Structure 1
Amino acid sequence: MSAPSHPDPISRGNGSRVAWSIAGLVAATVLLGALLPGRPMHAVSASPAEDPACAEWSDGCRVCRRLAEGPACSLPGIACTPGPLQCLHRAGG
């Protein structure tokens, strides 16, 4: 017994239908991702000290807090090596 050299037309049509369905699903996903509004990005300031939403920030040596009178910072330790500024606490949260 020898196997037929060509698959029957029904199974050939199903493979094509599956391929077009996958292509349509991918295209719809990309289109939805491009058209739907996303979450608004928070505008990042150059420094947490310049960001009015940042209530407390640190460089690993000093901790600064935003007060009504202006920023107040702790004194650094003697052998501290400062790192990048990071916001530790945001206002309202």
Structure 2
Amino acid sequence: MPTSQNRDGLVALAVAAVVVVTVLIGTFAPSSHGRSGPVSPAADASCAEWSDGCTICRRHGEGIACSLPGIACVPQAKQCLRHSGG
């Protein structure tokens, strides 16, 4: 049976190992800082009309108007259908 001092040393070693592994993961894991992903059509001011296959949204002077989805529609990725001026 381990003594109290041996057990305390093992606990301290385990805590130190967890800290080191956490720091290494934070250092070497890929991050999303500085990367810009694809812009949503709703956030792209040049996109006048977009759809996810279920609804169609249009940008008007008063704001954005979207249709209602069909009853059994499964949304897909949003795509710009028409850009401003085109």
TM normalised by structure 2 equals 0.55
Q: Which structure would you say has the larger Rg? A: 1
1:67 correspondence with 2:60: yes
TM-score by length of 1: 0.51
Do the aligned partners of residues 81 and 89 (structure 1) sit closer, same or farther apart at CA in structure 2, a change above 3 Å counting? Answer: same
Opposite residue 66 of structure 2, the aligned amino acid is C
RMSD: 1.8
Percent identity, aligned pairs only?
64
Q: Where do 5+ consecutive residues of structure 1 fail to align?
A: 1-43
Could you tell me which of 80, 89, 92 is aligned with 2:85?
Answer: 92
SS of 1:88 mapped into structure 2: strand
Q: Does the Cα contact within 8 Å between 1:45 and 1:51 map onto a contact in 2?
A: no
What code does the residue aligned with 1:75 have? L
Instruction: State the 1:46 CA deviation.
Output: 2.1
Q: How far does residue 45 in structure 1 lie from its aligned partner after superposition?
A: 5.3
SS of the residue corresponding to residue 87 of structure 1 reads: strand
